């Protein structure tokens, strides 16, 4: 079942790159006591994700801070090394936390998995953005297949 507005975010963990190498962050660490915008893309380095989706959040990071967002986090069903390299390539700096959902477990827990096998990409996460306030989903924006409207930075800023 897909996560809905007003529901508690599922428990889980993501891979992250630290100064000491690959690490992890739990959903409790990520969401507890914070307002977080969790953005999901089908894959790092893919065209819409790299040219539009992630850059929009990087460019609008200060506007999100102005709306009391503590963290912008971008997840994809990629490994921690790919997410780290993609973040460096896109110049995210400290503006966006890059999260690896390597096996797609969190996308599945949200009910937002995507079968991209027809494109040679296997199981992925759908394109979406969720505003999370202290562990509760307060706004859920899931894109229709092939679309990029409701989860882009400008749309989420308007919803805050």
Domains of the chain: 13-159 (3.40.30.10)
What pLDDT score does 48 carry?
Answer: 76
SS3 at position 108: helix
Among 30, 38, 49, 92, which one carries the catalytic annotation? 49
Distance CA 120, CA 28 (A): 33
Residue 13 has pLDDT above 90, yes or no: yes
- For residues 104 and 51, which has the higher predicted lDDT (pLDDT)? 104
- Comparison of pLDDT for 141 and 46, the residue scoring more: 141
Residue 145's pLDDT is: 85
Confidence (pLDDT) at 128: 96
Q: In terms of C-beta distances under 8 Å and separation of at least 24 residues, what long-range contacts does 4-8 make, across chains too?
A: 4/137, 4/140, 5/137, 5/138, 5/139, 5/140, 6/136, 6/137, 6/138, 7/136, 7/137, 8/135, 8/136, 8/137
pLDDT greater at residue 25 or residue 114: 25
What pLDDT score was predicted for residue 120? Answer: 67
49 is catalytic: yes
Biggest CA-to-CA distance, the chain: 41
The pLDDT value recorded for residue 46 is 76
Give residue 122's pLDDT band: very low, low, confident or very high (50, 70, 90). low
Spatial contact of 25 and 99, defined as CB atoms under 8 Å apart:
yes
Report, as an integer, the average pLDDT of 40-62. Answer: 86
CA distance 68 to 87: 23
Query: Rounded to two decimals, what is the model's pTM?
Result: 0.94
Question: Each residue of 83-115: pLDDT tens digit?
Answer: 999 999 999 999 999 999 999 999 999 999 877
Q: Calculate mean pLDDT across residues 65-73.
A: 98
- State the average pLDDT over residues 66-77: 97
pLDDT in tens, 127-155: 999 999 999 999 999 999 889 999 999 99
């Amino acid at each position: 079942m897909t996560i809905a507005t007003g529901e508690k975010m599922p428990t889980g963990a993501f891979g992250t790159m630290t100064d000491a190498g690959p690490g992890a962050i739990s959903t409790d660490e990520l969401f507890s006591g914070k307002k977080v915008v969790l953005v999901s893309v089908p894959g790092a380095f893919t065209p819409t994700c790299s040219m539009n989706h992630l850059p929009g959040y990087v460019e609008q990071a200060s506007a999100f801070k102005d709306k009391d967002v503590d963290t912008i986090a971008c997840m994809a069903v990629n490994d921690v090394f790919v997410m780290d390299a993609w973040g460096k390539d896109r110049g995210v700096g400290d503006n966006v936390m890059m999260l690896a959902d390597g096996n797609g477990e969190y996308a599945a827990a949200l009910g937002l998995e995507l079968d991209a096998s027809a494109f040679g990409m296997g199981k992925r996460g759908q394109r979406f953005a969720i505003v999370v306030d202290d562990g509760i989903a307060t706004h859920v924006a899931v894109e229709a297949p092939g679309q990029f409207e409701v989860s882009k930075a400008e749309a989420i800023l308007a919803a805050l």
